Structure 1
Amino acid sequence: MAVISKMKIMTRDWTELNPELLHLISKKLGNLSNFIRFRSVCKQWRSAADPADPPPQLPWLLYPATLRREEANTNTDYTLYSLSSNSSSQIELPITYKGFRYHNTKEPSIGFILVDQHKQILKPPYQLMVPYLFNPLTETKIHLPFTEVKYYFSLYMGPDNKSNSGMVKSGVHLVVYTIQNSELEIWSWRSDSNEITKFKIPFLTFVVGYYKGKIFVYLSETRETKVFDMTTEAEMNIVIPHPVECLHFNLFVEAMGDLLAVAYPHPGEGGRDSHQVKVYRLEHTDVFGQCRWIKLKGIGERVLFLGSPAAGFCLSASDFEGLRGNCIYYMRDCKDVNEKDGFRHYNRLLRYDMENGSSEELLNCVALSATWFMPCLS
């Protein structure tokens, strides 16, 4: 009988597993490559694992597969670094027209990358192309109705309907800014309605944030934060004073219902090896009638992922197995000199622990410039 039972186990048809059980198993696959392999087993397993509802995924880093700036201008090979597996893979981003390449995007994205193409110095005629959203895993494109060709930096990219995490199903809400002379131009676009709003801010600054339909602009010259309403396209009668103990803000991050301002030293500030990061939360009334910045000792279960020049996003550690809360991932500028490349600038990925105030360098990720990317299969 023991032999017969053993034979039955060995010949079990795994395609007959309960669909609900298969779905629960698929939601535990924190590495997206394992999720894709799971779906490829058979039709039964594929139907139990909806690509529009994958298991929670840690963000990846997307960066050029070279540390030489002159090669990055023409090289289409990029590297995807996975935080969950601490491994890298190569990907080629297609060139859509001769003479154009992918701009070294630096702003975080959820599911899609804001592709901003620019012209290289080639023989005429030149063909200018507008930016678009691109999913490097599925090669899905979402064309943007912007008529002018500029350099765009995203402030917010998420679903129109926040109760639905599927970006394509619910539509994409994109808020970007571009630099025009001594002004910032803010664009807001919703894919479902193709609705576009835009207005200009009469300041030139690289610390801009989007939060609850408002644009927050930090002015380093006057050390204050001003607020603009996206609906009325007008400046609100609000000036938020800067914390006394903080030198400058580096970026704003919308984090689980709060607006956070982050400050960290540039190389040479606060000591050569200083990595201390300060985080402030905006305390405000419902109508933003009164606002002030409150310094935080910690961020709890929240985990911040900071990009450059002025963007970031937040995840909850409780949603991801193995992710430590109260931590901040960020890229730090570095430089060195060697015989092959000479003098070079590059970035390294670090994780800052707010509890003990120390930074840990993560290996296997050295990049000229990098973009945080939340993987999406829809």
Structure 2
Amino acid sequence: MEKEEEEVIERNWADLLPEHIPLIQEKLSEVCDFVKFRAVSKPWRFFSPVSDLPLQFPWLLRNSRGPDLEFYSIAFNKLYTIRTHCPSIKFFFGCVGGYLLTGQANNADSFSLLNPLNNREVSLPVLHDSNSFNFAANFSSYNSLSFQIGDYLLFFKNEISVRCKPGDDRWDIIGPRCKGQYCPYYFKGLLLMVERYTGIIKIMDVSVHKELYVISPPEHENMAQGYLVESCGEILAICHSHSYQYTDFKFYIHRLEFGNGKGNPCWVKLSSIGDRILFLEIHLSHGSRGLCLRASDFAGFKGNCIYFTFCAGHFNVVNMYDMGNGETTGINTPFGQEDYITWFMPTLTQM
């Protein structure tokens, strides 16, 4: 008697029990896999909120006008091409958290924030005075500086600094006018203006438009080519040196210590940043910016390191600097040295 063939039961994975969904989700450490997982069915989407997405290691984004954007994940050694739902006449000026700052090529006053992973776009107030705010000239490339601390966004162009909270219908002008020789930074209601040639820093409370402190740069460091980074609630001054061939980088880090509020703040030199990883963009002619994460959030990555992109003219590289041994290691990417690249934080969280 012949053995009867076993009946094959086709399983509908969309009917998976809700208590099993988080167990699968815990295995998804990559944001793209998480997006595909949530797209299976409405129940899977409902029981896997974006707030549960693991913190992502930053991606590298190659400069492009869109709508196709190329991202590279160092953590997973993968190249992603993402098509955004926006016209090709849009320019992408740089990264602001998990969003891209965009603008219309035919409208110098209109800007928005775009999340390329879910194509959510947040409109920003219109800059009506194009004579005072000629941002089209300043945002001609990815080098334009913008910072997001909490819900606030800060732009600046030479003499004028403006900020807004997404959803506002106007920009707030914060000052004083910098007259081109200052590089401004915004941190928890404080405007820090670094004088380009001396490194002297003026600290201002933007809520009352009052200058609080004037402090000298860290001793023996050249803040004229340095920059400030917000790191785990602290303000760090980052200075670097390199060889003529743009190799053999060295970084010097100081923390701004406010003390008890009596007298001027002072700089404290750090020999280690502990569990932290800094991600920096270094551009010799247009300033620099950075972000900070904890290494313990990422398996296989150690702290006390600096990952940085370096741009000098048409020469662009990605390196990792180990503060423990002072060594610089090159990072291989699918991008060429002629491509300008920037750090992007992949996230699905909406503003």
* TM-score, normalised relative to structure 2: 0.80
Match of 2:123 in 1: 143
The equivalent of 2:292 in structure 1 is 314
Asked whether the 8 Å contact 2:149–2:187 carries over to 1, the reply is no
User: Given the alignment, which residue of 213, 217, 223 partners 2:193?
Assistant: 217
Structure 1 residue runs without a partner (length 5+): 1-6, 66-73, 120-126, 161-172, 336-344
Residue identity matched to 1:279: I
The reply on whether 1:350 has 2:315 as its aligned counterpart is: no
Question: Counterparts of 2:182 and 2:28 in 1: how far apart (Å)?
Answer: 38
Gaps of 5+ in 2: 1-5
2:217 aligns with 242
1:331 to 291, 302, 309: 309
Which segment drifts farther, 281-290 or 292-301?
Answer: 281-290
Q: Is the 8 A contact 1:205 1:217 kept in 2?
A: no
Cα distance in 2 between the residues matched to 1:203 and 1:286: 32
Overall identity of the aligned pairs, in %: 29
| Aligned position for 2:227 | 251
Query: Displacement, 1:75?
Result: 7.0
What is the CA-CA distance between 1:366 and the residue it aligns to? 2.9
**Residues 217 and 48 of structure 1: is their aligned pair in 2 closer, same or farther, counting only changes over 3 Å?**
same
Q: Could you report, residue by residue, the CA deviation over 1:75-123 in whole angstroms, capped at 9, with x for unpaired residues?
A: 75431111221121223456647xx4415x34x421211124456xxxx
Secondary structure at the counterpart of residue 311 of structure 1: strand
Q: Does residue 46 of the first structure (1) align with residue 45 of the second (2)?
A: yes
Q: Specify whether residues 137 and 226 from structure 1 end up closer, same or farther in structure 2 by C-alpha distance, changes over 3 A only.
A: same
1:109 corresponds to which of 96, 100, 109: 96
The SS at the match of 1:22 is helix
Change (3 A) 1:83 1:247: same
1:372 aligned to 332, 343, 351, which one? 343
Aligned CA RMSD, in angstroms, stands at 3.1
Q: Work out whether residues 277 and 306 of structure 2, in 8 Å CA contact, stay in contact via their aligned partners in 1.
A: yes
Partner Cα distance (2:257, 2:204) in 1: 17
Q: Distance in 1 between matches of 2:258 and 2:37?
A: 46
Q: Secondary structure at the match of 2:241?
A: coil
Please say if 1:197 is aligned against 2:162: no
Map 1:64-103 to 2 at 5 A: 64=63, 77-92=68-83, 96=87, 100-103=89-92
Mapped to 1, the partners of 2:243 and 2:67 lie a distance apart of 30
1:31: how far off? 0.9
Distance 1:49 1:110 in 2: 22
User: Are 1:207 and 1:252, in contact at CA under 8 Å, matched by a contact in 2?
Assistant: no
C-alpha distance in 2 between matches for 1:30 and 1:251: 32
Question: 1:14 deviation in Å?
Answer: 5.5
Q: Paired residues, what number? A: 325
The residue that corresponds to 1:36 in the other structure is 35
Which residue is equivalent to 1:342? none
What's 1:295 paired with?
269
1:135 shift after superposition: 1.2
Contact between 1:328 and 1:353, CA under 8 Å: does it hold in 2? yes
Question: Under a length normalisation based on structure 1, what TM-score does the superposition of the two structures give?
Answer: 0.75
Letter in 1 for 2:332: L
Q: Name the counterpart of 1:168.
A: none
Query: 1:320 and 1:206 mapped to 2: Cα distance?
Result: 36
Task: Find the aligned partners of 1:263 and 1:159 in 2 and give their Cα distance.
Answer: 25
| Structure number with higher relative contact order (C-alpha < 8 Å, ≥ 6 residues apart) | 1
Q: Which amino acid in the other structure matches residue 295 of structure 2? A: A
